[in-house]
Copies of this chain bind each other. A is one copy, B any other.
């Protein structure tokens, strides 16, 4: 998933940034706060480490997430955080998420059920 270089309008550029198979899931997971690599992987069932890594690199290149590495003794600790740009992206994504939840996955929801995001 390498970014294209010519865009006709803002939407297709944004879609390109966010279009990886797991990108929005990463963004959404990080919306709660910073997460480590392993936490992220466990939080998104189905991603392989390789794909998660490349997606994170791309999001980093696009300025959406920041990667902070640190060492505690011998163990590495890498935390991923949404940048302000990432936060604003998530906000811009919200209406689309509402739309999708409402029109795409609204089959059989019991009233008391926890609503997905």
Contact = CB atoms under 8 A, between A and B. Distances in A.
Interface in A1-26: 7-15, 17-19, 23-25
Main secondary structure of the interface of A (DSSP, over half): helix
Contact of A10 (B8, B13, B91, B104): B104
Interface stretch (A34-42, A52-60, A73-81, A92-100): A92-100
A102 interface: yes
A104 to B, nearest CB: 4
B25 A104 contact: no
A92 B98 contact: yes
Interface-centre pick from A85, A89, A92 (highest chain B CB count, 10 A): A92
Contacts of A88: 99, 103
Contact of A93 (B89, B96, B101, B104): B96
